[in-house]
Amino acid sequence: MVARAYRAAVLYSANRLWLPCALLILAATLAGAAPDAQYKVLKSIMPGGSGVYDYVYADKSARFLYVPRLGESARITIFDIDTLRQIGELPHTSAHGVAVSERSNHGFATSRPVAM
């Protein structure tokens, strides 16, 4: 009985908090947006080959762009951010995303098995 009352109290307080939290997030987003900021594309590339890509990762400290590909020719293609030239590839690695740790200089891919 106590657990049921506690669960009901938690649900009630969670239901009351969603609107103020949503408004706070919206206000923070709008306050940080610069309406007169102009963005433009400086360079673009068309990574060829078959397969689809999901999450592209830019490593700002190493200046690498990781493009994981899914499909029959699964791979992770690595580009130099400054020149946009392909500098490497990890074949047979089907992943949705890539992350790189600046502290350990290890990269991780969301694949099975996990690519490192």
Alpha-carbon distance 25 to 97, whole Å? 26
Instruction: State whether residue 64 is helix, strand or coil.
Output: strand
Residue 115 DSSP label = B
Alpha-carbon distance 70 to 76, whole Å? 9
User: Does the pTM of the predicted model rise above 0.85?
Assistant: no
Q: Identify the segments of the chain with pLDDT beneath 50.
A: 2, 5-14
Q: What is the pLDDT of residue 35?
A: 61
Q: What is the pLDDT of residue 9?
A: 44
Residue 54 DSSP label = -
Note whether 21 and 64 are within 8 A (CB): no
The two tokens of residue 85 are 């030239």
Sequence letter at residue 82: D
Q: What is the pLDDT of residue 6?
A: 43
Q: Any idea what the Cα angle at residue 70 is, between residues 85 and 84, rounded to 5°?
A: 10
